[in-house]
Amino acid sequence: MLKTLDRYIIRQFLGTFFFILVTIMLIAVVFDISEKTQDFARMTASVQQIVFNFYLNFIIYYSNLFSGLLIFLAVLLFTSRIAHRTEIIAMLSSGVSFPRIMWPYFLAATMLTALSLVINHRVLPAANKIRLAFEEEHIRATYFVDDKHMHREIAPGTIAYFESFNVQEKMGFRFSLEHWENDALTRKLTSDRAQYDSLNGRWRISDYVLRTMDGNTERIQRGQMLDTVINLKPSDMGQRWETAMAMSWTELNDHIASKRAQGDGSLMPYLIEKHQRTSYPFATYVFTLIGVGIASRKVRGGTGLHLALGVLLSLLYVFAMKLTTVAATNAGLDPLLAVWIPNVVFAIVGIIIYRRAPK
């Protein structure tokens, strides 16, 4: 059963957090509206669509994204305030141990972690799906694929290749289609360009060369135009990596399996997104431990010094997260390790700070 001390700390912790969250989100929405005023004037979306399809889901996404850092600031502000009023010293002097003071903090952190896990796995994918669809329709009407040398295994033994692809025109350049049987190339179609016809679902191959191999015999066929059906769509070549955020857990796993089967090398953002949905909420415990350890000590600089240290550690955490995700994308670091390493490192820092906190 919660005691008066527990209720007091939990109420102050959660109240400070939600106050900061609401304030930051209001500021973010105001700034975003000011940046998109011209876009809103040009688009055909109604006010209701802008409010409920975009900004409601905008708030859900960014609230969850910055929740860890805002929890850190809430812990720093609240704990620094009660430390400045010598309330922590009074608690310790009355015989309350420091681990006992930490108990309600971790109860509140557990509530926020559970809420973040539910939002990450259940609420956020659906919210992002609506938000990204709105952006694609009204803000980003078209986009391009910047990747080069894209391979897709569209069927067992059938590999499609594009040197480059323009999603706006639905056209690929330096196209080839290979058929393999028993580790032997049996047929290869090459062309300067291939364009997708969305009306009939066919690809129009221009200036093509078709080579058919049968043992030591090779036949070559040339032509100006060829319409063919290929199990490949432009969306398979040019998905924004942000679409991973709009996938449910099952959809994300199926998409990863599909990309692996196609030999697609752009898996890392999806794997990072998959593991971050679990790792990031648990950073709440790390931020809480560090925040209480720093702010519980009464110092001459007061809240200002605690905030300065908090902002510095927040920046270091963000930097560490970016560093490990870049290492996963470009240096082959396992994505599971990439998203958990910052939590582990900062948890060790938190334990060190906690051991040095006033007892």
Give the chain's domain count: 2
Alpha-helical (H) ranges within the chain are 4-35, 37-42, 47-48, 56-65, 67-84, 87-93, 98-118, 124-134, 234-237, 249-262, 268-295, 302-330, 335-355
Instruction: Give the model confidence (pLDDT) of 235-294 as tens digits.
Output: 666 555 567 888 888 888 888 887 777 666 668 888 998 999 999 999 999 999 998 888
Residue 18 domain-assigned (yes or no): yes
Q: So what's the pLDDT on residue 82?
A: 86
Clarify whether residues 198 and 84 are in a common domain.
Answer: no
* Banded model confidence at residue 81, pLDDT cuts 50, 70, 90: confident
Domain residues for 203?
A: 150-235
% of residues, the chain, pLDDT over 90: 28
Clarify whether residues 104 and 33 are in a common domain.
Answer: yes
Q: Is 217 helix (H, G, I), strand (E, B) or coil?
A: strand
Q: Is 82 helix (H, G, I), strand (E, B) or coil?
A: helix
For the entire predicted model, the pTM comes to 0.72
- Mean pLDDT in the chain? 84
Least confident of 12-16, 111-115, 239-243: 239-243
Is a pLDDT exceeding 90 seen at residue 214? Answer: no
Clarify whether residues 136 and 176 are in a common domain.
Answer: no
Residue 254 domain-assigned (yes or no): no
Clarify whether residues 86 and 186 are in a common domain.
Answer: no
Clarify whether residues 64 and 101 are in a common domain.
Answer: yes
Q: So what's the pLDDT on residue 245?
A: 86
Is a pLDDT exceeding 50 seen at residue 338? Answer: yes
| CATH value at residue 187 | 2.30.30
CA–CA gap between residue 185 and residue 182 (Å, rounded): 8
291 and 75 in contact (C-beta within 8 Å)?
Answer: yes
Clarify whether residues 13 and 156 are in a common domain.
Answer: no
Q: So what's the pLDDT on residue 339?
A: 93
Q: Which residues contact 244 (CB under 8 A, 6 or more apart)?
A: 252, 255, 269, 270, 273, 274
Q: Which helix (H) or strand (E) holds 171?
A: strand 171-181
Domain boundary among 188, 213, 235: 235
Clarify whether residues 136 and 9 are in a common domain.
Answer: yes
91 and 307 in contact (C-beta within 8 Å)?
Answer: no
